[in-house]
């Protein structure tokens, strides 16, 4: 056991803190899940990229810093501690990129990753469909081969696509083998949303932002040689499920929600309590802080295991259950402290509404509990 | 940064687990303690020149987790974590001195007070015979309780309230609770895989799966906090955040959740004394409130946080 940071890691933290202190915009930007706010966030993303903070763990040739997972955790702690803007590039950098590193061709990596890090290409996730939410293998959107044109034609509809109305690209699953069922015969596509035959329609989320979109595909063309525009197949035709599972593993686990986010929120809750003490709520405040701290310790243990060459796998469902539930309780506690003042909109009510999405996105917590029970505890797999 | 057991801690944990595999609830506890003493477990924190292993709290946590898992009765945290190093530090005994009962300051009951050769009360150590004790009926049938009626001899002063020794006692109790939680969860998983109702294993029902998944999450997020608190104590540095209190909060709450879930998922089988589950649950209900219950430690953490 050694729970101390090395001199290099402390220097890395110091550098990140100094840069963030000097550059985090004040006052805070409007929500990145609105058209106006998204544009402001793009400027921030490009500032991050110019200083090589947008994807610290990536190789430097793609715009990163070759940072270790430990340094990535440190950067995340400093990022949320500084109350820096939400990452509107998150679905690309944290969810798609790990799959491109694992399954992408060298050309896909060279073409797609630097533009993603620089917030030139903005990636939306295209998993859910009107009839396929938690049950991802029920998707019906399909891709048909167009040999004369040298590519694929997409048909169907994706929905609940976060920031879809503001993004330039989409990654998602489409059926390429009409005879195959469920998780077979799927292919992972990278799509330029500006292509003919693609229509994107934004709609409002529970929190009032136009953060969702429906995406309609009507013979939208994905050329085989479209990599210069970020389009193509990732990981081979018919391999979609395997590639997608790698991505959802990242999403549930560590890379989507680092402990820094919750530690910072817990610190702000402590400050809220100090400004509005309510002894009846004190234990809830302490427990929110304790849970954020416990999540940090769990991830330190997990990153040690990863550094030793172990893959987290189904364990990422433990992360997802814990951070999403702690986040809801933390924000409920803040709302309790605000009392009647919580009706006036502001960062806490906004955060509360957003926290309610946590147990739903990235695979509902009901599905995660099934994963924990079946794959970690070994209980029988059955119908739902 | 490296969050994993060192080789010495792993080796002692494995040696402890090897001995404990020979124990089942209601079995030969005294003989098992003798074997554990033979491996050196009682002197985990005692310096080598006094016959101990000279290890630190990083080795203590996994040892006590294994003892918790086994259900072995006896003042485990009291002896190994709290009293043995305290007595050795005061020149009052070596690792070979056997079990030590402790009144930890949570009330007037002393677990195993009639059985242990020595007792520590109010940071004073007494030999059996220097105190007049009466037995008090206990919730946990394998954890008999005693109350002091009269003090007949002069004890020897040791340590101070809420110092390092006391923190080790809290830490050790948290580790025992994690082990008990893991055991009840393992028993329940095995049970719901075998027990059939409506023609299928009850473990195939989502209502059962989800309850056990939540219990598993609670345990797996408590265990790193207990390990980290051990590391923090081993560094003997002033910590701003009371990691030992955090560990006890998480371990106590997790163990109570697991006990409740385990009994519920066993159905009526869980509500008998013919099946061992009740022994583990009763140990949890005894240990969760001792050495400061979760709310008591939340109040202390609150002070550290400034709320």
| Residue pLDDT, tens place only, B78-91 | 999 999 999 988 88
Q: Are residues A54 and A167 in the same domain?
A: no
Phi-psi region of B158 (alpha: psi -120 to 50; beta: other; left: phi over 0): beta
Q: Which domain holds residue A225?
A: 123-239
Q: Are residues A371 and A264 in the same domain?
A: yes
Within 8 A of B183 by CB-CB distance, chain A residues are none
Taking the C-alpha atoms of residue A142 and residue A152, their distance in angstroms, rounded to an integer, is 10
Q: Are residues A45 and A132 in the same domain?
A: no
Query: Is residue A65 assigned to a domain?
Result: yes
Within 8 A of B193 by CB-CB distance, chain A residues are 378-380
Within 8 A of B305 by CB-CB distance, chain A residues are 270, 285-286, 289
- pLDDT (mean) for A232-239: 97
- pLDDT (mean) for B96-117: 88
Q: What is the CATH number of domain B164-305?
A: 1.20.140.10
Q: Do A366 and B301 touch (CB under 8 A)?
A: no
Average pLDDT, chain A: 94
Would you call A251 a catalytic residue per the annotation? yes
Non-local CB neighbours of B169 within 8 Å, separated by 6+ positions? B77, B78, B81, B82, B102, B104, B291
Domain edge (last residue) among A239, A262, A291: A239
Q: Which of A5, A322, A368 sits opposite B221 (nearest CB)?
A: A322
Q: Which of A1, A370, A373 sits opposite B3 (nearest CB)?
A: A1
pLDDT of residue A309: 87
Of A71, A214, A251, A315, catalytic: A251
CA of residue A340 relative to chain centroid, distance: 33
Q: CB of B52 within 8 A of CB of B81? A: no
Structure tokens at B294: 């979760």
CA of residue B279 relative to chain centroid, distance: 14
Q: Do A301 and B227 touch (CB under 8 A)?
A: yes
Strand A186-192 relative to strand A142-146: parallel, antiparallel, unpaired? unpaired
Q: Do A274 and B307 touch (CB under 8 A)?
A: yes
pLDDT in tens, B121-163: 988 999 988 999 999 999 999 999 999 999 998 888 887 777 8
Query: Is residue A98 assigned to a domain?
Result: no
CATH of the domain at A230: 2.40.110.10
Q: Are residues A259 and A371 in the same domain?
A: yes
Domain edge (last residue) among A88, A112, A133: A88
CATH of the domain at A349: 1.20.140.10
Q: A293 to chain B, minimum CA–CA distance in Å?
A: 8
Provide φ and ψ at B278, rounded to 5°: -60, -30
State the pLDDT confidence band at A370, using cuts at 50, 70 and 90.
very high
Q: Are residues A79 and A127 in the same domain?
A: no
State the pLDDT confidence band at A352, using cuts at 50, 70 and 90.
very high
Residue A237 has pLDDT above 80, yes or no: yes
Q: CB of B44 within 8 A of CB of B53? A: yes
Residue A251 has pLDDT above 60, yes or no: no
Non-local CB neighbours of A339 within 8 Å, separated by 6+ positions? none
The residues with which A171 forms a beta bridge, in sequence order, are A125, A190
Name the percent of chain B lying above pLDDT 70: 98
pLDDT of residue A171: 97
Q: Do B213 and A287 touch (CB under 8 A)?
A: no
Q: CB of A336 within 8 A of CB of A284? A: yes
Q: Are residues A261 and A345 in the same domain?
A: yes
Within 8 A of B185 by CB-CB distance, chain A residues are 377
- pLDDT (mean) for B98-108: 88
pLDDT of residue A104: 97
Residue B169 has pLDDT above 60, yes or no: yes
Structure tokens at B116: 């242990």
- pLDDT (mean) for B280-302: 97
State the pLDDT confidence band at A384, using cuts at 50, 70 and 90.
low
A376 secondary structure, DSSP code: I
Q: Which of B213, B220, B302 sits opposite A369 (nearest CB)?
A: B213
State the pLDDT confidence band at A383, using cuts at 50, 70 and 90.
low
Residue B95 has pLDDT above 60, yes or no: no
State the pLDDT confidence band at B105, using cuts at 50, 70 and 90.
confident
Residue B271 has pLDDT above 70, yes or no: yes
Q: Are residues A326 and A263 in the same domain?
A: yes
Query: Is residue A99 assigned to a domain?
Result: no
Choose, out of B1, B219, B230, B248, the residue to mutate when testing the contact with A (most A CBs < 10 Å): B1
Taking the C-alpha atoms of residue A230 and residue B294, their distance in angstroms, rounded to an integer, is 53
pTM of the prediction? 0.95
Structure tokens at B174: 């948290």
Query: Is residue A159 assigned to a domain?
Result: yes
Chain B nearest-CA residue for A278: B307
Query: Is residue A287 assigned to a domain?
Result: yes
Within 8 A of A381 by CB-CB distance, chain B residues are 204
- pLDDT (mean) for A335-346: 94
Q: Are residues A262 and A235 in the same domain?
A: no
Q: Do B301 and A286 touch (CB under 8 A)?
A: yes
State the pLDDT confidence band at A253, using cuts at 50, 70 and 90.
low
CATH of the domain at A54: 1.10.540.10
Q: Which of B201, B206, B224 sits opposite A297 (nearest CB)?
A: B224
Taking the C-alpha atoms of residue A222 and residue A234, their distance in angstroms, rounded to an integer, is 12
Distances (CA, A) of A193 to A32, A120, A220, B177: 19, 13, 9, 54
Strand A142-146 relative to strand A151-158: parallel, antiparallel, unpaired? antiparallel
Domain edge (last residue) among A186, A211, A239: A239
Q: B166 to chain A, minimum CA–CA distance in Å?
A: 21
Q: At what angle do helices B57-70 and B206-235 cross, to 10 degrees?
A: 150
Q: Do A9 and B295 touch (CB under 8 A)?
A: no
- pLDDT (mean) for B262-272: 96
Range among A143-147, A245-249, A362-366 with highest mean pLDDT value: A143-147
Within 8 A of B9 by CB-CB distance, chain A residues are 1
Residue A46 has pLDDT above 90, yes or no: yes
Residue A26 has pLDDT above 60, yes or no: yes
Q: CB of B20 within 8 A of CB of B60? A: no
Query: Is residue A93 assigned to a domain?
Result: no
Domain ranges of chain B: 164-305
Chain B nearest-CA residue for A281: B307
Number of domains forming the structure of chain A: 3
Distances (CA, A) of A91 to A24, A180, B223, B286: 21, 29, 31, 47
Q: CB of A205 within 8 A of CB of A165? A: no
Coil, strand or helix at B12: helix
Average pLDDT, chain B: 94
Chain A nearest-CA residue for B187: A377
Q: What number of other Cβ atoms are within 10 A of residue A223's Cβ?
A: 17
Non-local CB neighbours of A213 within 8 Å, separated by 6+ positions? A124, A159, A161, A163, A164, A165, A200, A201, A202, A203
Q: Which of A287, A366, A372 sits opposite B217 (nearest CB)?
A: A372
Distances (CA, A) of A117 to A88, A110, A114, A124, A255: 11, 12, 5, 14, 15
Structure tokens at B24: 């089942």
Write the ipTM.
Answer: 0.96
Chain B nearest-CA residue for A303: B3
Q: Do B306 and A274 touch (CB under 8 A)?
A: yes
Taking the C-alpha atoms of residue A309 and residue A101, their distance in angstroms, rounded to an integer, is 17
Query: Is residue A381 assigned to a domain?
Result: no
Structure tokens at B263: 């009994």
**Which has more pLDDT, B155 or B28?**
B28
Q: Are residues A262 and A372 in the same domain?
A: yes
Within 8 A of A304 by CB-CB distance, chain B residues are 1-4
State the pLDDT confidence band at A248, using cuts at 50, 70 and 90.
low
DSSP assignment string, A262-330: HHHHHHHHHHHHHHS--GGGHHHHHHHHHHHHHHHHHHHHHHHHHHTT---GGGHHHHHHHHHHHHHHH
Q: CB of A256 within 8 A of CB of A91? A: no
């Amino acid at each position: 056991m050694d729970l101390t940071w090395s001199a290099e890691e402390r220097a890395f933290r110091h550098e990140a803190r100094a840069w963030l202190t000097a550059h985090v915009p004040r006052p805070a930007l409007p929500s990145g899940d609105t058209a106006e706010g998204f544009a402001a966030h793009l400027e921030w993303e490009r500032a991050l990229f110019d200083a090589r903070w947008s994807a610290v763990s990536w190789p430097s040739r793609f715009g990163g810093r070759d940072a270790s997972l430990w340094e990535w955790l440190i950067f995340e702690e400093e990022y949320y501690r500084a109350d820096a803007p939400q990452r509107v590039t998150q679905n690309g950098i944290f969810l798609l990129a790990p799959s491109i590193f694992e399954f992408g061709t060298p050309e896909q990596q060279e073409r797609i990753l630097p533009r993603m890090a620089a917030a030139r290409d903005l990636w939306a996730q295209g998993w859910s469909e009107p009839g396929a939410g938690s049950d991802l293998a029920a998707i019906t959107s399909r891709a048909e081969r167009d040999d004369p044109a040298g590519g694929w034609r997409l048909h169907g509809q994706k929905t609940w696509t976060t920031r879809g109305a503001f993004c330039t690209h989409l990654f998602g699953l489409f059926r390429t083998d009409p005879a195959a069922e469920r998780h077979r015969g799927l292919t992972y596509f990278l799509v330029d949303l500006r292509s003919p035959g693609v229509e994107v329609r934004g709609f409002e989320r529970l929190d009032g932002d136009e953060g969702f979109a429906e995406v309609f595909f009507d013979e939208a063309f994905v050329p085989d040689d479209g990599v210069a525009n970020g389009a193509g197949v990732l990981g081979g035709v018919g391999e979609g499920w395997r590639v997608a599972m790698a991505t959802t593993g990242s999403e549930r686990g560590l890379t989507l929600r680092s402990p820094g986010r919750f530690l910072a929120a817990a610190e702000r809750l402590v400050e809220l309590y100090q400004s509005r003490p309510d002894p009846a709520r004190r234990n809830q405040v302490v427990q929110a802080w304790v849970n954020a701290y416990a999540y940090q310790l769990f991830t330190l243990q997990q990153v040690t295991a990863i550094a030793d060459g172990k893959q987290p796998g189904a364990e990422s469902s433990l992360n997802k259950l814990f951070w999403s539930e702690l986040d809801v309780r933390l924000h409920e506690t803040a709302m309790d402290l605000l009392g009647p003042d919580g009706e006036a909109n502001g960062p806490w009510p906004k955060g509360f509404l957003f926290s309610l999405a946590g147990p739903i996105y990235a695979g509902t917590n009901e599905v995660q509990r099934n994963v924990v029970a079946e794959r970690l505890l070994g209980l029988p797999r059955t119908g739902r | 940064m490296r969050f994993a057991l060192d080789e010495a801690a792993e080796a002692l944990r494995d040696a402890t687990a090897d001995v404990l595999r020979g124990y089942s609830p209601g079995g030969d506890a005294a003989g098992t303690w003798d074997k554990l003493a033979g491996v050196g477990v009682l002197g985990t924190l005692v310096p080598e020149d006094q016959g101990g292993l000279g290890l630190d709290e990083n080795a203590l946590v996994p040892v006590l987790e294994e003892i918790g898992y086994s259900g072995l009765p006896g003042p485990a945290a009291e002896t190994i974590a709290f009293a043995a190093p305290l007595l050795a530090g005061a020149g009052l005994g070596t690792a070979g001195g056997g079990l030590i009962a402790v009144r930890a300051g949570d009330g007037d009951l002393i677990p195993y007070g009639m059985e242990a050769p020595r007792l520590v009360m109010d940071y004073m150590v007494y030999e059996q015979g220097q105190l007049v004790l009466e037995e008090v009926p206990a919730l946990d049938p394998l954890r008999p309780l005693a109350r002091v009626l009269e003090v007949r001899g002069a004890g020897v002063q040791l340590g101070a309230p809420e110092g390092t020794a006391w923190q080790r006692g809290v830490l050790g109790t948290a580790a025992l609770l994690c082990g008990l939680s893991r055991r009840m969860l393992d028993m329940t998983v095995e049970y719901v895989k075998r027990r059939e109702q409506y023609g299928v294993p009850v473990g195939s029902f989502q209502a059962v799966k989800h309850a056990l998944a939540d219990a598993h999450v609670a345990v797996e997020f408590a265990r790193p906090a207990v390990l980290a608190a051990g590391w923090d104590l081993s560094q003997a540095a002033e910590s701003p955040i009371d990691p030992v209190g955090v560990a006890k909060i998480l371990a106590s709450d997790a163990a109570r959740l697991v006990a409740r879930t385990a009994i519920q998922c066993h159905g009526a089988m869980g509500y008998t004394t013919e099946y061992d589950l009740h022994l583990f649950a009763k140990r949890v209900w005894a240990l969760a409130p001792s050495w400061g219950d979760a709310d008591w430690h939340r109040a202390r953490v609150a002070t550290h946080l400034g709320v």
